[in-house]
Copies of this chain bind each other. A is one copy, B any other.
């Protein structure tokens, strides 16, 4: 068994209004960061997976994202896996 590190970016789908992003954008403009626009806020989730192979780890991570970590109706996710050094 090997341990893999997964890094998942969860972003709101295009066309879904990002209220939190809009609020942060307005706050940035209020403190003179007027060159910053189109702020979108998502989640960044990291975890370790123990699996027989990278392929198995990938399937499990995708399954976990679909079932719990992301909301597939409103959000997209992308997973980056890397083998974890033994510690």
Contacts and interface: CB of A to CB of B under 8 A. Distances in A.
Interface residues of A, number: 34
Contacts of A64: 28, 33, 36
Nearest to A10: B44
Secondary structure at chain A's binding surface: helix, strand, loop or mixed?
strand
Most buried by B among A9, A38, A60: A38
Q: In the assembly, how many copies of this chain are there? A: 2
Interface string A18-31: 00010011011001
Contact of A24 (B31, B41, B61, B69): B69
B46 A43 contact: no
20 contacts: A24-B68, A27-B68, A28-B64, A31-B67, A33-B60, A33-B68, A35-B49, A35-B51, A35-B60, A36-B49, A36-B60, A36-B61, A37-B50, A38-B46, A38-B47, A39-B45, A41-B43, A41-B44, A42-B46, A43-B43
